[in-house]
Amino acid sequence: MEKKNLDWANIGFGYIKTDQRYVSNYKAGVWDEGRLTDEDMLTISECAGVLQYAQTIFEGMKAYTTEDGRIVTFRPDLNAARMADSAKRLEMPVFPQERFVEAVLKTTAANQAYVPPFGSGATLYLRPYMFGSSPVIGVKPAEEYQFRIFATPVGPYFKGGVKPLTICVSDFDRAAPHGTGHIKAGLNYAMSLHAIQTAHRNGFDENMYLDAATRTRVEETGGANFLFVTRDNKVITPKSDSILPSITRRSLMYVAKEYLGLETEERAVYLEELADFAECGLCGTAAVISPVGKIVDHGKEICLPSGMGDMGPITKKLYDTLTGIQMGRIEAPKGWLVEIN
Ligand code: PLP
Ligand code: COI
């Protein structure tokens, strides 16, 4: 398969239209058989559930070219399961999980020419999503839905790649207790736009959101979970029912313990203990692990000892091991890599 002539090393995190996308429609209580299409434009009712009441959910995942030239996806079964949880919370039909994985592989295979080559630093981002497509005017779930997956080649999520970020403690809340913070609903991102633009206008790369009830505990950013490293090399991640259960974070905690022999802990992390940590990173599919160098809490600067020059040493080991697994350089735990055929 001949690759497209893209400047792989310099693409950013943006949308580049690729050849084929997957689509399946839900009508009269059943999903149709689904198909690949080259049609990237949609026509839906002006009164569609997604347009009126934001009934939409999504996933984010990547396909990689391994060192030996295979194309693999990373733990797609976990994205399928999380999307099922998101669907149930927004009263949407579940797209069957085995079909989700099959559709991801099909979409990747159909866009092989856009899977960035090994070593380029870029990957193919896959965006499964589902929305209410039939008209609703009273507040209730739609009766018809569309499930789609498109693919787009991407580079690093944060400009500057792995340069440490400066983040701020946000005055806005991302998720309420018993709300929708633990699912991947479009509405969580719509309401974060003002917060992220405010952070950018104030010169910060990202927000640190706190728990909405007490504003004392660290939750996550708008698109990634936190990992902290203590001064004695323990890897800690915040435990909360209102953050997204990141697949990258769950994988990194496993890597820390099983590959690097580090102690790990998922527990409440308090704002007031941030100054005690040695390293901090943001982890997610798009972010991979992006190091944080400085956290600013209303004028009070917390400078991580790892500094603003490079990733901290434990963050770097975690990054190298995870990406090594994803790119086939380090043996993956059983079932983590699913190859396209
Ligand atoms: N938290 C939020 C709010 C996200 O949007 C994402 C991205 O998917 C993550 C965390 C990271 O999750 P994952 O590692 O599954 O991509
Ligand atoms: C991802 O990491 O896949 C996400 O969906 C996060 C988004 C902010 C790009």
Own/partner long-range contacts of 229-233 (Cβ < 8 Å, ≥24 apart):
229/277, 229/278, 229/279, 229/280, 229/312, 229/314, 229/315, 230/276, 230/277, 230/278, 231/276, 231/277, 231/278, 231/305, 233/262, 233/263, 233/278, 233/314
- Mean of the pLDDT values across residues 289-294? 96
Virtual CA dihedral for 176, 181, 185, 191, nearest 10 degrees?
50
Average pLDDT, integer, range 75-98: 98
pLDDT-derived band at 162 (thresholds 50, 70, 90) equals confident
Structural domain that includes position 283: 165-326
Which residues are near ligand 2 (CB < 6 Å)? 60, 223, 284-286
In CATH, what number is assigned to the domain containing residue 194? 3.20.10.10
Q: pLDDT over 70 for what percent of the chain?
A: 100
- The alpha-helical segments, DSSP class H, found in the chain are 49-53, 76-89, 97-110, 186-190, 193-201, 247-254, 313-326
How high does pLDDT run on average in the chain? 97
pLDDT at 160 over 90: no
Which residue is closest in CA terms to ligand 2's atom 8? 223
Q: How confident is the model at residue 183 (pLDDT cuts 50, 70, 90)?
A: very high
Domain boundary among 115, 131, 154: 154
Q: For residues 134-159, give the mean pLDDT.
A: 96
Q: Indicate if 182 and 313 belong to the same structural domain.
A: yes
The model's confidence at residue 69, banded by pLDDT at 50, 70 and 90, is very high
Rounded-to-integer distance, Cα 301 and Cα 221, Å: 18
Overall domain count for the chain: 2
- The ligand whose atoms approach the alpha carbon of 129 most closely is 2
- Per-residue pLDDT, averaged over 82-88, amounts to 98
Percent of the chain topping pLDDT 90: 97
Whether the per-residue pLDDT at 341 is higher than 90: the answer is: no
Same domain membership, residue 102 and residue 183:
no
Kindly tell me if the per-residue pLDDT of 291 is higher than 80: yes
187 plus 235 within the same structural domain? yes
Which residue, 334, 332, 267, is CA-closest to 64?
332
Q: What is the pLDDT of residue 159?
A: 79
What are the residue numbers of the active site? 184
Other beta carbons within 10 angstroms of residue 208's beta carbon come to 25
What CATH number corresponds to the domain at position 115?
A: 3.30.470.10
- Judged against a pLDDT cut of 80, whether residue 154 lies above it is answered with yes
Q: Quote the CA–CA distance of 285 and 200 in Å, as a whole number.
A: 21
Please name every residue paired with 185 in a beta bridge, in sequence order, or none if there are none: 57
- Domain boundary, last residue among 133, 154, 175: 154
Q: What are the φ and ψ backbone dihedral angles of 218, each rounded to 5 degrees?
A: -80, 130
231 and 279 housed in the same domain: yes
Ligand 2 centroid distance, CA of 137 (Å): 30
pLDDT at residue 2 in the model: 86
Residue 130 pLDDT class (50, 70, 90 cuts): very high
- Atom 5 of ligand 2, nearest CA residue: 60
Q: What is the mean pLDDT of residues 20-43?
A: 98
Distance CA 58, CA 92 (A): 12
- Boundary-marking domain end, from 154, 173, 195: 154
Asked if residue 232 and residue 276 are part of one domain, the reply reads yes
Predicted confidence (pLDDT) at residue 17 exceeds the cutoff of 80: yes
Cβ(336)–Cβ(75) below 8 Å: yes
Q: Which ligand is nearest to the CA of 175?
A: 1
Q: What pLDDT score was predicted for residue 97?
A: 98
Structure-token match 């070219």, residue found: 65
Ligand 2 atom closest to the Cα of residue 157 is: 9
pLDDT above 90 (res 20): yes
Which tokens in the block code for residue 82? 């999380």
pLDDT value of residue 158 = 86
The answer to whether residues 319 and 180 belong to one domain is yes
What pLDDT, on the 0 to 100 scale, is given for residue 134? 98
Burial grade of 42 (CB within 10 A; 0-12, 13-18, 19 or more) = exposed
Q: Coil, strand, or helix at residue 235? A: strand
Same domain, residue pair 113 and 46? yes
Please report, as a single letter, which amino acid is at residue 293.
Answer: G
The alpha carbon of 230 and the centre of ligand 1 are apart by a number of angstroms equal to 23
